[in-house]
Amino acid sequence: MTDATQDPQETDPAAQTDPAARDIPGGPPKDGRARRPRIIVHTGKGGVGKTSVAAATALLAAERGYRTIVISTDAAHSLADVFDRPLGPEPVPVAPNLWAQESDIYYNVETYWGTIQAYIARLFQWRGLDEVMAEELAVLPGMDEVANLLWIAEHHDRGLYDVIVVDAAPTGETLRLLALPEALRWWMEKVYPPARQVARLTGPLVSRIVGMPMPEDPFYSAAEDLFRRVDHVRGLLSDPDLTSIRVVLNLEKMVIKEAQRSFTYVHLYGFPTDLVICNRVLPPDVGGYLTTWEASQRGYRPMVEEAFAPVPLRDAPFFEQEVVGLEMLRRLGAAVFGTDDPTLVYHRGRPYVVGRDGPDIVLSLELPFVARDEVELLRFGDELVLQVGAWRRNLVLPRLLADVPASQAGLDDHTLRIRFPAPPPRNRSAARRTGR
In terms of Cα–Cα distance, which of 76, 81, 43 is closest to 255?
Answer: 43
Range(s) of the chain covered by CATH 3.40.50.300: 1-349
Half-sphere exposure of 111 (CA within 13 A, CB side): 20
**Residue type at position 250:** N
Mean pLDDT confidence for 182-198: 62
Highest mean pLDDT among 44-48, 72-76, 167-171, 349-353: 44-48
**b/e code 368-403 from CB counts within 10 Å (16+ = b):** bbbeeeebeeeeeeeebebebeeebbbbebeeebee
User: Of the given ranges (208-212, 229-233, 294-298), which has the lowest mean pLDDT?
Assistant: 208-212
pLDDT at 6 over 60: no
- The reported pLDDT for the residue numbered 21 is 43
118/312 Cα distance (integer angstroms): 47
Instruction: Answer yes or no: is pLDDT of 64 > 80.
Output: yes
Q: How far is CA 92 from CA 26, 144, 161, 167, 314, in A?
A: 5, 20, 13, 15, 29
User: Residue 124 above 60 pLDDT?
Assistant: no
- Residue 433 pLDDT > 60, yes or no? no
CA dihedral 71, 92, 56, 44 (to 10 degrees): -20
Q: Are residues 193 and 227 in contact, defined by beta-carbon separation less than 8 angstroms?
A: no
Q: Cβ–Cβ contacts within 10 Å for residue 92, how many?
A: 20
Instruction: Measure the CA–CA gap between 139 and 121, rounded to whole angstroms.
Output: 9
Average pLDDT score over residue span 77-88 = 92
352-433, CATH topology level: Immunoglobulin-like (2.60.40)
The architecture in CATH of the region 1-349 reads 3-Layer(aba) Sandwich (3.40)
What is the pLDDT at residue 267? 74
pLDDT at 19: 35
Cα distance between residue 212 and residue 204, in whole Å: 10
pLDDT, tens digit, 9 for 90 and up, residues 211-255: 555 555 666 676 677 777 777 888 888 888 899 999 999 999 999
Distances (CA, A) of 390 to 146, 264, 273, 375: 20, 12, 21, 10
The residues with which 354 forms a beta bridge, in sequence order, are: 363
Q: What are the residues whose beta carbons fall under 8 Å from the beta carbon of 341, sequence distance 6 or more?
A: 1, 64
Q: Is the pLDDT of residue 306 over 90?
A: no
The pLDDT, as a whole number, for residue 101 is: 94
Q: What average pLDDT does range 51-71 have in this prediction?
A: 97
Question: Is there a contact between 415 and 364 (Cβ–Cβ < 8 Å)?
Answer: yes
The answer, yes or no, to whether residue 16 has pLDDT greater than 50, is no
Cα separation, 357 vs 419, in Å, equals: 9
Residue 189 confidence (pLDDT): 65
pLDDT of residue 126: 47
Q: How confident is the model at residue 266 (pLDDT cuts 50, 70, 90)?
A: confident
Give the residue with greater pLDDT, 335 vs 108.
Answer: 335
Beta bridge partners of 419: 362, 408
Q: CATH 2.60.40.790 residue ranges in the chain?
A: 352-433
- Least reliable range by pLDDT among 109-118, 237-246, 324-333: 109-118
Q: How far apart are CA 385 and CA 392, in angstroms?
A: 7
DSSP secondary structure, 196-212, as one string: HHHHHHHHHHHHHHH--
Please state whether 155 falls in left (phi above 0), alpha (psi between -120 and 50) or beta. alpha
Q: How far apart are CA 288 and CA 67, in angstroms?
A: 44
Judged by DSSP in three states, 387 sits in strand
